[in-house]
Amino acid sequence: MLNRPAHEQRAASPAMTDERYLDVVAVRKSFKGVTVMDGMNFRVARGELVSLLGPSGCGKTTLLRIVAGLMQADDGSVILAGRNISSLPPHKRNISVVFQNYALFPHLSVAENVAFGLRARGMSKADAVQPVREALALVRMQDFADRSIGGLSGGQQQRIAVARALVVRPDLLLLDEPFSALDRKLRETMQVELKSLLRDRGITGIFVTHDQEEAMGVSDRIAVMNAGRIEQFADPSTLYASPATPFVMDFVGLSTRLSGRVTGQEGARVVVETALGTLRAPGGLATGTPVLIGVRPELIRLEGGAGMNRVDLVLEDVAILGSKTMLQGRPDGGDRLLCELAGIRNGKARGDAISFHWAVEDTLIYDASAEVTT
């Protein structure tokens, strides 16, 4: 039949069904009467690599532990591949976890640690040799198979923990800041490798970090968490270009923030009065609304054009960072304005009087009367 209702057609498409591969529904959790999660909803598609990004204490580890079954939610459910796993013990969920502190078995060798999950599932020692070797090669630790855990550096232990988690081919891989002990170079290598590894094998992963660059580098989508809630869940470019809240704008990338008040509307633009003059932003808000204006530093130019926003200031700091230079001013000791220029030869110095210009379309605007203080 050709004219099936739309919802049936969608249900028949595997891609749409997979949107709910992991479905965390209305999860609540409190510790000794203090609520840390109040109706969390979180949905991951099959094969996706999703990051949980947020400040310390916002509930990232708690969410992972509830998904893995290492902690019971007070209310709500966890569905994996259409199965309600809320009351299953951790070892029946086929979910692998790489913990913040990697939790390896100190009395077992590297190879025995990696083989552990396979052996626990009843695989013979001989059959485990090849998958263990492959898993160790993935994390570039193939030469360490017979070493003891105690003789490894923190970074090496972290890679063994990743190998141990992957070798069992989990339905879901949870990683809680797996690379935090690694030096920058190894960390970047591991990020790239983890991403392609999961993609090649079609493994669905949730990656916890509070490093926004790491989250943007590895993830298909990022859930920005704040105080037990998801403020925005989107792909890295949407998150960066269109942050849904001031918290997300601040947490993902640098920005300039200016406070103001709406004084009028010009078509699809809001006119805002700030301490530094009149600015315009896309959208519509009632006159009198207190607002927060934001702009990303790399969208600011030193020369303007008709119809662009403009702020005059004296440079207070010029920071040369190699591939880029950050210009900073704090007019009247108030809001900090940031401009990022490519390269280092721009002839600007502290004390220069200059103007920052940016397109109205690049201006972010938030209703400050609705802003939740964080």
Out of 44, 46, 61, 258, the only residue in the binding site for ligand ATP (CB under 6 A) is 61
In the complex, the smallest distance separating the C-beta of residue 295 from ligand ATP, rounded to whole angstroms, is 28
Give the CA radius of gyration of the chain: 25
**Given the complex with ligand ATP, which of 67 and 138 has the nearer CB atom?**
67
Nearer to ligand ATP, 66 or 300 (CB): 66
Residue 27 gets which letter from DSSP? E
Q: Say how far apart CA 341 and CA 325 lie, in whole Å.
A: 5
Among residues 198, 164, 161, the alpha carbon closest in space to that of 178 is found at 161
Residue 61 as a binder of Mg ion (CB under 5 A): the answer is yes
Pick from 299, 325, 330: nearest CA to 313 = 330
Tell the residue number behind the tokens 């991403």, with chain if given.
195
Nearer to Mg ion, 161 or 315 (CB): 161
Size of the site for ligand ATP (CB under 6 A): 11
For ligand ATP, the binding residues in 9-48 under the rule CB under 6 A are: 31, 36
Paired tokens of 81: 């591949």
Residue at token pair 């972010």: 364
Member of 46, 60, 159, 229 binding ligand ATP (CB under 6 A): 60
The residue range among 57-65, 213-221, 240-248, 282-290 that interacts with ligand ATP, by the rule CB under 6 A, is 57-65
Any idea what DSSP says for residue 178? T
**Residue 329 binds ligand ATP, judged by CB under 6 A:** no
CB of 228 to ligand ATP, least distance (A): 7
E-strand ranges in 267-336 read: 269-274, 277-282, 290-295, 309-314, 317-320, 324-329
- 52 or 80: CB nearest Mg ion: 52
Which residue(s) pair with 266 in the sheet? 269
In this chain, which stretch among 15-23, 59-67, 133-141, 301-309 interacts with Mg ion, using CB under 5 A?
A: 59-67
CB closer to Mg ion, 51 vs 61? 61
Q: In whole angstroms, what is the distance from residue 49 CA to residue 194 CA?
A: 10
Closest separation in Å from C-beta 97 to Mg ion: 12
Q: Which residues bind ligand ATP (CB under 6 A)?
A: 31, 36, 54, 56-62, 210
